[in-house]
Structure 1
Amino acid sequence: MSTALITGASGGIGKAFAQELAARQTNLVLVARSEAKLHQLAQELQEKYKIQVDVIVKDLTEADAAAAVFNITKSKGLTIDLLINNAGFGDYGDFAERDGERQVKMVQLNVLALVDLTHKFLPLMRQRRSGSIINVSSIAAFQPIPYLSVYAASKAFVLSFSEALWAENRDYGIRVLVVCPGPTETSFFTEARFPMAFTSKTNKISTPEEVVNDALNALGKGVSTVISGNLLSKIITNMPRFLPRETLVHILEKQFKA
């Protein structure tokens, strides 16, 4: 039986990954800050699917958090066959007026923790010549987004990084996929502190289960990238191909300004 490690597993897309993979008889390692939520989810999945679920309570913005997670899996003798870097958050507003520490923590979680965890587990996958990595990006990765400047930039990093790894690791039998969801029914908008008036205008929202289904189907096909969402999400990701960058950013500034 294979084992998947999922970050940000206590809710949203991470929780949906855990539920779907458990249903497919995959053992799990669940990583997040929310101890109570993780243990509740672990108990539910163990009882329902008779799988092994390990819990690691860790804030991945902390120094050496990835090393701590890796060392725990090593001490338990766990082989991670599928790494899902899902943890991340956004922050809405004018960059110059937002809390600076929160911007740095966003980069630490969305970028640094993802890179560090990938670098810890990927060499072991290469040695076995098998394994898979799913990195969760966003349709925000395809263009700069005013008032979500750090978030969009961090997701652009995840997109570029993941596609490069897909190419580097194909000959080792390792699949690397980046999934780019559109608006999804998670706590993202609340945690990013979007104005209520803005979130009420957001429609065509996908469920976390739809995102997970798109990701796992794409992983099975061996592709590098999947855009999860409706036709509008796919149009948005292709807009930079047809509009001058300054024009596009000007349009987005008007759209995202509260």
Structure 2
Amino acid sequence: MQSEKTQVRVVIVEDHPLFRVGLRSALESADDIHVVGEAETLADLAPVVEAGRPQVVVMDLSLPDGSGIEATRRLTEENPGLSVLVLTMADDDGTLLAALHAGARGYLVKGAGREEVLHAVRTVAAGGAVFGPDVAARIAVLATGGGRREAERLFPALTAREVEVLDLVARGYDNRRISRELFLAEKTVRNHITHIFEKLDVATRAEAVARARDAGLGARDTDAGLGARDAEG
């Protein structure tokens, strides 16, 4: 066993007990990684980080008392030497971009293998960035603007922010989730959607979705919940 001084100190933030136990076991199977604390909620996180002084926080994004995105932002702002590795079920572009903007240095989807997780922890602890293969490919597309730039060309009347909102509408997100994804007030989201409807000359959410998908937006999510919220615009 390596001395604690040469080990990567890790805090796990995960509310699912079985997954948390399994993750801790996987991490501590490596001689160079030491789990110094666990948090089930955001309320638990600050004292655990203060006591454990980790180099890496492995962060779930869906927690019972708040968003791991905002927790990531606070951690990276308040602890410049700390690296956050996101390990989550969320596999959509909006969540990925929000995590990166919040300061995460790595992003893995749950289901990643033991060696992949260990490699990611070591990499972010050393100051690097690491992403799963599928995530890395999507980042490359998003970095070049991808479908949104094409949508901006097809919908020149829309602002860049309105294209972002339309993209999330086309994925089936309701206004509340769009506000979380883009860190906007729900009233602001409603205003954006009203302007989008006016500029696209559509009357319902379903019509807006059809126009958006024809332009290549919203391809990653299902149609769940469309129709039920036509009046929210």
Structure 1 length as normaliser, TM-score? Answer: 0.44
Structure with larger RCO (C-alpha < 8 A, sep 6+): 1
Give 1 or 2 for the bigger CA radius of gyration.
2
